[in-house]
Amino acid sequence: MVSAALARRFGLRRARLVATRPPGARLHTLIVLRWLAIIGQTLAILFVHFGLDFRLPLGLCLATVGVLVAVNLVSFTLFPTSHRLTDRGAAAFLALDIVQLAVLLYLTGGLGNPFSLLMLVPVTISATILSLASTVVLGALAVLATLLLAEFHLPLPWGEGGLALPGLYLAGVAAALLLGLGFISVYTWRVAAEARRMSDALASTQIALAREQRLSALGGLAAAAAHELGTPLGTITLVANELAREVPAGDPISDDVRLLVSEAQRCRDILANLARRPDPEDPFPELPIGALVEEAFGPHHRGSIELAIRIHGSGPQPLAPRLPEILHGIGNLAENAFDFARARIDVAIDWDDERVAVTIADDGPGLSSDMLGALGEPYVTSRPEDGGMGLGVFIAKTLLGHTGAQVAFGNRPGGGCEATVSWARGMLEKGEKKETETA
């Protein structure tokens, strides 16, 4: 429950644990377990045959064990010790163990052999590390082997006169094995699934806390930067205004001076907005989602880039809280779009009874698959030559995540990149109500 709430708050993608296939198993682990089984089987066969003087088909028994030895040696030779088997590969590995054990039991008395209990082991291992589907298949294979062994097997090795166990007893052994297979497999799988769920919950919590700590650190740096930059920026603005008054209108550098004045003023406005606290007397604590997006885009709009905003949804336009997180988050995405766009940016605002979505698409070069996978992490940028720090998208994604938004990135089919910000409508309206009541 904790990880689910954190995942929704910070925009983390949380796996569906029950339906997600576990990642298989290390080959080295299964090889070691099989070597233990090989040693145990070999010692048991030799002790019964020579120590207890019970005549076994020794050659066939040792050949059956030799199959596992050969497979282990081949696996050890072909693959490194760190190799991980897929879910199907590990299931096939354990299926061979079930078949080999069934053949060995067939040669040594079937279910009358007390070591028939070992039929539970491969299925239990599968329930611990493999998916439910693989465990069910292996369980079915073990059940089939148990039923066949109850009917077909060589006589139980014994002294003179042999030993014939009653059919009712063998049926009871078969029933006990089948019940054990079912109970132990289900119980082990549930315990392992819960362990995986707790592990994923811990991982989600750690990721959320790490993102929050990074954002908190960046917030401290931003406050320090705003404080330190205030004085030199004021000096730059003063000097730029004096230059603008002294440079004649027709001078070749007059346009550059005016640009310097406007950019210095823009920097001062940005610092002022960062330092401004929310006004409890704000007459517009909420806005229609379209107007809110237009306000976020306003400071970043450049005349050379065409901006097209399409507003379309079912029913009345939802009112969104005029939160700094939403304005700064969408503003950062807008600034990125203007930086990369060649001629046009398309913004689509859609909503229905369940969802509100804002899609920002540019006609720029798009992003590589590697960059798309890492986008949203701090200090990841595709333009280091421009001095970009790789923090804009990270800050936008984290701020929007605070409002319950999910942020996704992708490439447009016709070229360019698009970012989609979506909220559950109930969560967005709940945020609006909370802010209004607080005010």
Q: What is the DSSP string of 21-77?
A: PP--EEHHHHHHHHHHHHHHHHHHHHIIIIIS-----HHHHHHHHHHHHHHHHHHHH
DSSP 235: H
| Domain residue spans of the chain | 2-207, 212-275, 286-438
- pLDDT grade, residue 15 (50/70/90)? very low
pLDDT tens per residue across span 334-346:
888 888 888 899 9
Asked if residue 383 lies in contact with residue 336, where contact means CB atoms within 8 angstroms, the answer is no
The number of beta carbons lying within 10 Å of the beta carbon of residue 2 is: 11
pLDDT tens per residue across span 362-420:
988 888 777 777 676 666 666 545 545 556 787 788 788 878 888 888 888 878 889 99
User: Is the sign of the CA dihedral 346, 347, 352, 356 positive or negative?
Assistant: positive
Q: Per CATH, the architecture of 286-438 is what?
A: 2-Layer Sandwich (3.30)
Asked if residue 439 lies in contact with residue 280, where contact means CB atoms within 8 angstroms, the answer is yes
- pLDDT grade, residue 305 (50/70/90)? confident
Characterize the bridge pairing of strands 25-26 and 84-85: antiparallel
Closest-CA residue to 149 (of 171, 164, 131, 176):
171
Buried b (16+ CB within 10 A) or exposed e, 286-320: bbebbbbbbbbbeebeeeebebeeebebeeebbbb
Mean of the per-residue pLDDT values of the chain: 79
- pLDDT grade, residue 249 (50/70/90)? confident
Beta strands in 190-332 (DSSP E): 286-288, 306-313, 319-321
Distance from the first to the final alpha carbon of the chain: 30
- DSSP H helices in 250-306: 254-275, 289-297
Query: Do the first three CATH levels of 212-275 and 286-438 match, i.e. the same topology?
Result: no
Alpha-carbon separation of residue 99 from 48, 103, 105, 144, 148 (angstroms): 22, 6, 10, 10, 12
Q: Which residue is it, tokens 């779009």?
A: 337
pLDDT higher than threshold 70 for residue 115: yes
pLDDT higher than threshold 50 for residue 71: yes
pLDDT higher than threshold 80 for residue 272: no
Please give the CATH number for the structural domain made up of 212-275.
1.10.287
Residue 439: the pLDDT is 40
Residue 436: the pLDDT is 39
- Residue 85 pairs in a beta bridge with 25
Of 58-62, 298-302, 386-390, the one with minimum mean pLDDT is 386-390
pTM of model > 0.75: no
Of 33-37, 101-105, 163-167, the one with minimum mean pLDDT is 163-167
pLDDT tens per residue across span 153-211:
888 877 666 667 777 877 888 888 888 888 888 888 888 778 778 877 888 788 777 76
